[in-house]
Structure 1
Amino acid sequence: MPRPHPDSALAATPPASSLPMLARNVAHFVRLLRDAGFALSPAHAVDTLLALQYVDIGRRDEVRAAMAALMVNGPDQRPLFDAAFDLFWRDPDWESKLRALLLPRVDAGAPPPKRNNRLADALAAQRPPESGQRGKESTERFTAPLTFSAQERLAQRDFETLGAEEWRALQHMIRARHARLATERTRRLRAAASGPRADLRASARLAVRQQGEWLRWKYRRHAERRPPLVLLLDISGSMSQYSRAVLYFCHALMQSRERLSVFLFGTRLTNITRSLRERDPDEAVNAIAGQVRDWAGGTRIGAALATFNRQWARRTLSGRATVLLVTDGLDREDIGLLETEMARLRRFAHRIVWLNPLLRYAGFAPQARGVQAILPHVDALRSAHNLDSLFALESLLAAREPLAMAVFPAARGLKIMKDTKETPQSWK
């Protein structure tokens, strides 16, 4: 694929002999945006070439506006489109620019440039073949990154065993997921077309507007809303890979307009709810990584829960909230503090779901003291080591039935709990 002109691909109006090269470059640019996540087809390249006939091709602002009008579908895509436009149509050495995006760089006295992973991945897939090498490898191109069977295998892979390409594919699978959780009936009433409750005031107002004729009744019914979710995510060294995958899953929930509050804890507690509202998941995770100082460090579960109970519990756990506790429970500090704070969290929350990646092992037994301190206070115990387990959690929260405790073999003979603790019925 030929590169843009060294001076500028849009420097002047091209003669008739160079129009095929412009058409190839426009098609190449459309493929680049499509690999970066834009919903584009070859018809967009044809429409772009027709639109360029009605603008001054020597003016970059007119060409940019014409292409953006045809290729950008929302305000969140405009920054990515501008970055791709400047990189493709202005800089002829875009391969070197790509290497600069992918490799770390240290600049004295200046902050590093903002990196966009989606654009870098798309450019890496769009490297043009060198002249004279147009064999079978250069002609084969797959539009779908994964087949259905490949997606099934990837959804069953442990997060710790994924490579770089598999991790990118997993991010795209999570990004395409639109979760819808269960709703609960509230005490508030709202207007409805039909229902068991007649709204006398609204019906009378309607009759007055119709010259006293009582022709139609107005009704009210109980309003429904989604209960809030509060995520407490462990980001210690043993949980770093699982925490990153859960963050992408929480970003998808946040974009689905769920009432979600997210807190990270290692050696301290950090509220990252506002950072997850960023539309691009890569930029959201990068902002969180810069905000959190104790990523992949130690674990102080009891101290983090104490901070949450004192500062955030009354503000976030109202309205029958569900707490998702994502941790392996391996805390070697004050176990008494952990038991006390878990009991206090149990009184605040409507229900607590514990997501433990250690459940991926068939022979898992609650032998650690931290696990023994957490278990009596949770309503459900589930795994969170692959994508299937996260999607199963989504189905669990979307159901209206009461949660059931996951029973593992060693839990049936659990005699190491204190006598003052109540053992769940599913263990007996």
Structure 2
Amino acid sequence: MIPPKTSLTLRAPTPAGALLPNLAAFGRMLRRAGLPVGPSEILAGAAALEAVDLGDKHQAHAALRATMVHRHEHFLLFDHAFALFWRDPEAGRHAAAMALLDGFKEPPKPPPTSRRLAEAMRGDRPTPPKPPEPKEEQQLDLTFTVSDRERLQTMDFEAMSAEEITAAKEEIRKLVLPLDARPTRRFRASHMGTLADLRLTVRDSLRTGGEILDISRRQRITRTPPLVVLCDISGSMSRYAQILLHFIHAVTNDRDRVHSFLFGTRLTNVTRQLKHRDPEAAFEMVSHAVPDWSGGTRIGESLERFNQLWSRRVLGQGAVVLLITDGLDREGAKGLSDATDRLRRSCRRLVWLNPLLRYAGFQPKSQGIRAMLPHVDEFRPVHNLASLRELVAALSDRHAGRGREFA
């Protein structure tokens, strides 16, 4: 006898029936939880459900995950959301029987995904008010109290909930990176210039029969230097890379001559993808262009490939390089010192952003960190909004870093 298959809670003969509104509600819950799910993913999920047996929960789960999830790091969150939204109706009966046993156990600390899913399931519904407590003499202690916005500035990206991550992304979009303009080798005519232009003076004198009536002047053209971002997207950096991509996208669309590269086990140029104004569309194109997200780390090999293929193209005119990585190289820092040294000598300023600096007792014990540290100009943390604001202030400082007089 063939055992019956596990079925979903809400079933319909076709997705066009009662299942489609529930699928749309499931997509809204995933979007509130932080997954990039839009109408196209919901329609693709409905089409996929028509091709599978709705009576088999495993087939429905595989069909929805294949069409609604585009990134490997979102699989775990989707699995939890699927089990929570399309829950088994028999689970309520077992919950009552296990309530007494669970009452004697110490409640475990919920993982970050459970917290984000709980907020996503709640949606816009207000939190139920707490029962009033008996009135007693209350003493208000306002010492060391801060607002939610101030607390958000110092909160680690890895510890943020879905709502806090959304607020952090909005704050990141407001950041402006005004790199100090540097003088170039080119000049232009200007009445306010301090340098005399003898060639233009003689040329203008031809209009008056060779008589010089005025001295033409010129001034040097200034331009902001190029900005090159090299961001690590390996497994140890995936949480921070997702947030920092919003910072890179905001900078790319705010100024010109920004070149962005992502690396894990290989180097990928995502400059063209991040120039899209819509962040969700830009990240969708980045996810298709980057095949090694949340994988291993080969920092030395990636930097060496950048020096060979892209260094002469993007590091001219006094470029500033932001190297975002934790320095944990799985190749044991093979060739990492030479690659970092060449990168430093090719740019005007090399700034290393490392989220491990958030720990007070951080020490450069890793082989990769010790190989890279002597060749960088600045070593800064990048783990919260406050560190990003300090980075913006440091890059806007005219006298910071070292380099040639003319870019």
- With normalisation by structure 1, the TM-score equals 0.60
Structure 2: runs of 5+ lacking an equivalent: 1-19, 31-36, 52-62, 71-119, 130-145, 403-407
Q: CA deviation at 1:251?
A: 1.2
Residue 401 of structure 2, aligned match among 384, 394, 403:
403
Q: CA deviation at 1:342?
A: 1.7
- Is the CA contact (8 Å cut-off) linking 2:152 and 2:164 kept in structure 1? yes
CA distance in 1, matches of 2:299, 2:343: 13
Matched to 1:367, the amino acid is K
Residue 196 of structure 2, aligned match among 186, 195, 198:
198
CA distance in 1, matches of 2:69, 2:200: 56
The CA deviation string for residues 12-54 of structure 1, in whole angstroms up to 9 with x for no partner, is: xxxxxxxxxxxxxxxxxxxxxxxxxxxxxxxxxxxxxxxxxxx
- Is the CA contact (8 Å cut-off) linking 2:332 and 2:368 kept in structure 1? no
CA distance in 1, matches of 2:155, 2:190: 47
Partner of 1:376: 374
Matched to 1:307, the amino acid is R
Q: CA deviation at 1:216?
A: 5.6
Matched to 2:383, the amino acid is H
Mapping 1:246-285, distance limit 5 Å: 246-285=244-283
The CA deviation string for residues 158-185 of structure 1, in whole angstroms up to 9 with x for no partner, is: 1101111111111111112333111111
Partner of 1:85: none
Partner of 1:159: 157
CA distance in 2, matches of 1:310, 1:102: 45
How many residue pairs get aligned? The number is 290
Q: CA deviation at 1:259?
A: 1.8
Residue 298 of structure 2, aligned match among 297, 300, 308:
300
Matched to 1:354, the amino acid is W
- Is the CA contact (8 Å cut-off) linking 2:177 and 2:395 kept in structure 1? no
Partner of 1:320: 318
Matched to 1:240, the amino acid is S
- Is the CA contact (8 Å cut-off) linking 1:302 and 1:334 kept in structure 2? no
| 1:349 equivalent in alignment to 2:359 | no
SS at 1:232's partner residue?
Answer: strand
CA distance in 2, matches of 1:113, 1:214: 74
CA distance in 1, matches of 2:166, 2:293: 21
Distance 1:196 1:336, change over 3 A: same
Distance 1:197 1:95, change over 3 A: farther
Matched to 1:292, the amino acid is V
Residue 228 of structure 2, aligned match among 230, 237, 256:
230
Partner of 1:364: 362
Residue 183 of structure 1, aligned match among 181, 185, 189:
181
SS at 2:334's partner residue?
Answer: helix
Distance 1:102 1:246, change over 3 A: same
Q: Percent identity?
A: 46
Residue 328 of structure 2, aligned match among 318, 330, 337:
330
CA distance in 1, matches of 2:247, 2:196: 42
CA distance in 2, matches of 1:207, 1:257: 41
CA distance in 1, matches of 2:188, 2:25: 55
| 1:309 equivalent in alignment to 2:332 | no
Matched to 2:340, the amino acid is M
- Is the CA contact (8 Å cut-off) linking 1:263 and 1:270 kept in structure 2? yes
CA distance in 2, matches of 1:366, 1:360: 13
Q: What RMSD over aligned residues (CA atoms) do the two structures have, in Å?
A: 3.6
Partner of 1:33: none
CA distance in 2, matches of 1:403, 1:362: 25
| 1:220 equivalent in alignment to 2:251 | no
Q: CA deviation at 1:340?
A: 2.2
Distance 1:95 1:149, change over 3 A: farther
Which region of structure 1 is more displaced relative to structure 2, 188-197 or 198-207? 198-207
Distance 1:216 1:152, change over 3 A: farther
Q: CA deviation at 1:186?
A: 1.2
CA distance in 2, matches of 1:383, 1:304: 22
Partner of 1:121: none
SS at 2:318's partner residue?
Answer: coil
Higher relative contact order (CA 8 A, sep 6+): 2
- Is the CA contact (8 Å cut-off) linking 2:296 and 2:330 kept in structure 1? no
Mapping 1:87-126, distance limit 5 Å: 97=24, 99-103=26-30, 106=45, 107-108=47-48, 112=67
The CA deviation string for residues 99-134 of structure 1, in whole angstroms up to 9 with x for no partner, is: 44544764448995899xxxxxxxx9xx999xxxxx
Which region of structure 1 is more displaced relative to structure 2, 305-314 or 378-387? 305-314
CA distance in 2, matches of 1:338, 1:320: 23
Partner of 2:109: none
Q: CA deviation at 1:217?
A: 4.8
Distance 1:204 1:340, change over 3 A: closer
SS at 1:167's partner residue?
Answer: helix
Partner of 2:15: none
Residue 337 of structure 2, aligned match among 339, 347, 362:
339
